[in-house]
């Protein structure tokens, strides 16, 4: 069976007993009722994190629909596609024993991208072999590579058999080189369009411009088949049937507790403010699957996302902020903060308040217990009912300093007092003394970046960054609906990554072509 064939996968398959058991096991930990906290979180104060003059983001106009032929024209007009093809697949692959290749490598990359346009390799085969569609491809090649290259192309597009041969012999073995080459040109094109700008005049630490904020998310790519057993015996006839199985697929639990059988892909994107069709995917890679029992905190996804973020920062130093979901914990945020990045995630459930310091002032003869709760510094107080309340302290300034060991971020907080307010500095980055191992517990003395945030959630600026992250969910939904039955027609983790890279090339080519339009 060819790697891109999904015909057999279109028949619903029986789930094995092991798969059903794994799904029940994945569901069971999330069915436990959440215990209500025994403490109260006070009201969010009006400060620099939630200013009175805050204005929400302007809404983008409704995105106009783009027909499939126009999408194809945008793809073949992307000059970076031909550069990547020449870099990853040099001309020598067309020489050697056997029949010479009829099509240059960039044609097969166009075929890969067209799977996301026409939803399957079967429809891509039929569409590219149509004279009108193939003429659009030749016109794009002529504009990018000249008349000689365009005249050398055959009279119609490659067949599915030719695509399968190139996929298995050249494209699949070079998936990681193709990913890296695509990442580099995507970031360069995004910078050329004015995104990821190094000029911080377009935004500041508290409110970075949308084009300086990268948004990441993990999504589950469904395989062509849900079969989990290679051989199945018919109970009546005794016939042994063979099924194609995706051995890299597994039970995945998404953020909304939805259980999907597939492979995890992590990606980061950026977009312009109030402009439709401006999303630009910057980086993507697969996260090897481990069962929910072995990886309950989605560690593999989190470490992959951190690595992809570092790759972007190495090539686009103008990035100011990054947002992700709760798969990022304190240990994942700490190295990114040291690189001068504002890292925003929602507060992970189950984090209890942690004592920071008890401030005692001799002149005013007062003391204040300051705790970390809800991602920010709070003062611990007792209510008239005898309950514990953590009252968020106003943040008057976000101080940012650059040092030899990395960037340092501080909250200048104000502690209200009957004798007059007190001002203190609270570090919201991982300090050296925090990362020291406690000989008694064998753990870090204080996981500061787990309890404190540069921009805490439930603030106006935090809600702004949270709203930007929804763009990742939109991108994942578009990926699903770009393929037949919401399945990428390629087996294996590398196959799923290739399918996502083809989809990303389509999205980026549209953003590049429509950059001048409103």
430-447 pLDDT tens trace: 998 888 888 887 788 899
Q: Does residue 21 have a pLDDT over 70?
A: no
Q: Residue 323 is encoded by which pair of tokens?
A: 């947002």
Q: Does residue 19 have a pLDDT over 90?
A: no
Q: At what angle do helices 131-145 and 105-118 cross, to 10 degrees?
A: 130
Model confidence at 6, pLDDT cuts 50, 70, 90, reads very low
Tell me whether residue 23 is in a domain.
Answer: no
Determine the pLDDT at residue 27: 46
Please state the domain count of the chain. Answer: 1
Determine the pLDDT at residue 29: 44
Question: Nearest CA to 223 among 171, 261, 176, 255?
Answer: 261
Q: Does residue 211 have a pLDDT over 90?
A: yes
Determine the pLDDT at residue 167: 96
- pLDDT higher for 384 or 215? 215
Contact 459, 193 (CB under 8 A): no
Residues ≥6 apart with Cβ < 8 Å to 421: 414, 415
Predicted structure pTM score: 0.88
- Strand-pairing partners, residue 380, are 390
Q: Residue 113 is encoded by which pair of tokens?
A: 């991208």
Determine the pLDDT at residue 28: 43
Q: What is the DSSP string of 6-40?
A: -SGGGS--PPPHHHHHHHHHHHGGGGSPPPPPSEE
Tell me whether residue 359 is in a domain.
Answer: yes
Residues 330 and 348: their CA atoms lie apart, in Å, by 10
Q: Does residue 127 have a pLDDT over 70?
A: yes
Residues 439 and 445: their CA atoms lie apart, in Å, by 9
Residues 356 and 412: their CA atoms lie apart, in Å, by 14
Instruction: Average the pLDDT over 173-191 and give the result.
Output: 97
3-class SS of residue 453: coil
Q: Does residue 78 have a pLDDT over 60?
A: yes
Q: Does residue 309 have a pLDDT over 60?
A: yes
Tell me whether residue 283 is in a domain.
Answer: no
Contact 288, 493 (CB under 8 A): yes
Tell me whether residue 398 is in a domain.
Answer: yes
Tell me whether residue 380 is in a domain.
Answer: yes
Tell me whether residue 362 is in a domain.
Answer: yes
Q: Does residue 147 have a pLDDT over 60?
A: yes
Residues ≥6 apart with Cβ < 8 Å to 266: 216, 217, 218, 284, 285, 286, 287, 301, 304, 305, 308
Sign of the alpha-carbon torsion through 21, 24, 29, 30: positive
pLDDT tens-digit series, residues 311-337? 999 999 899 999 999 999 999 999 999
Tell me whether residue 383 is in a domain.
Answer: yes
- Compute and round to an integer the Cα radius of gyration of the chain: 27
Tell me whether residue 104 is in a domain.
Answer: no
Domain assignment of residue 409, given as a range: 354-451
Determine the pLDDT at residue 403: 87
């Amino acid at each position: 069976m060819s790697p891109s064939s999904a015909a057999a996968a279109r028949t619903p398959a029986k789930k094995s007993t092991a798969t059903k058991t794994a799904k029940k096991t994945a569901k069971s930990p999330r069915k436990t009722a959440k215990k209500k906290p025994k403490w109260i979180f006070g009201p969010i104060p009006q400060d620099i994190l939630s200013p009175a003059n805050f204005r929400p983001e302007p809404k983008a106009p409704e995105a106009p629909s783009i027909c499939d032929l126009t999408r194809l024209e945008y793809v073949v007009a992307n000059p970076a596609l031909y550069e990547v093809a020449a870099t990853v697949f040099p001309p020598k692959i067309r020489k050697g024993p056997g029949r010479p290749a009829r099509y240059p490598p960039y044609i097969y990359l166009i075929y890969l991208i067209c799977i996301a346009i026409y939803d399957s390799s079967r429809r891509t085969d039929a569409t590219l072999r149509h004279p009108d569609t193939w003429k659009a491809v030749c016109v794009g090649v002529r504009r990018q590579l000249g008349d000689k290259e365009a005249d050398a192309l055959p009279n119609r597009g490659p067949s599915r058999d030719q695509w399968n041969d190139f996929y298995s012999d050249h494209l699949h073995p070079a998936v990681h080189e193709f990913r890296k080459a695509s990442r580099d040109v995507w970031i360069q094109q995004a910078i050329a369009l004015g995104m990821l700008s190094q000029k911080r005049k377009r935004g500041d630490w508290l409110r970075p411009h949308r084009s300086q904020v990268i948004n990441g998310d993990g999504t589950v790519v469904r395989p062509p088949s849900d079969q989990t057993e290679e051989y199945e015996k018919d109970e009546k006839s005794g016939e042994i049937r063979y099924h194609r199985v995706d051995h890299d697929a597994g039970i995945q639990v998404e953020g909304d507790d939805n259980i999907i059988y597939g492979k995890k892909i992590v990606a980061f994107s950026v977009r312009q403010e109030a402009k439709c069709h401006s999303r630009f995917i910057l980086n993507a890679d697969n996260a090897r699957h481990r069962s929910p029992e072995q990886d309950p905190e989605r560690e593999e996804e989190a470490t992959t996302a951190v690595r992809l973020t570092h790759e972007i920062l190495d090539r686009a130093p103008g990035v100011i902020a990054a947002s992700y979901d709760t798969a990022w914990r304190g240990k994942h945020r700490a190295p990114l903060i040291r690189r001068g990045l504002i890292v925003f995630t929602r507060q992970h459930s189950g984090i209890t308040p942690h004592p920071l310091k008890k401030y005692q002032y001799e002149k005013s003869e007062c003391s204040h217990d300051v705790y970390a709760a809800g991602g920010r510094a709070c003062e611990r107080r007792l209510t008239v009912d005898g309950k514990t309340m953590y009252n968020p302290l106003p943040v008057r300034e976000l101080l940012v300093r650059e040092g030899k060991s990395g960037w340092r971020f501080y909250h200048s907080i104000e502690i209200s007092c009957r004798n007059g307010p007190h001002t203190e500095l609270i570090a919201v980055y991982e300090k050296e003394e925090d990362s020291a191992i406690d000989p008694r517990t064998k753990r870090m003395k204080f996981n500061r970046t787990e309890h404190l945030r540069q921009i805490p959630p439930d603030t106006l600026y935090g809600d702004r960054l949270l709203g930007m992250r929804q763009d990742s969910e939109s991108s994942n939904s578009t990926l699903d609906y770009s393929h037949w039955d919401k399945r990428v027609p390629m087996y294996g983790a590398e196959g799923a990554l290739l399918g996502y890279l083809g989809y990303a090339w389509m999205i980026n080519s549209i953003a590049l072509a429509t950059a001048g339009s409103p």
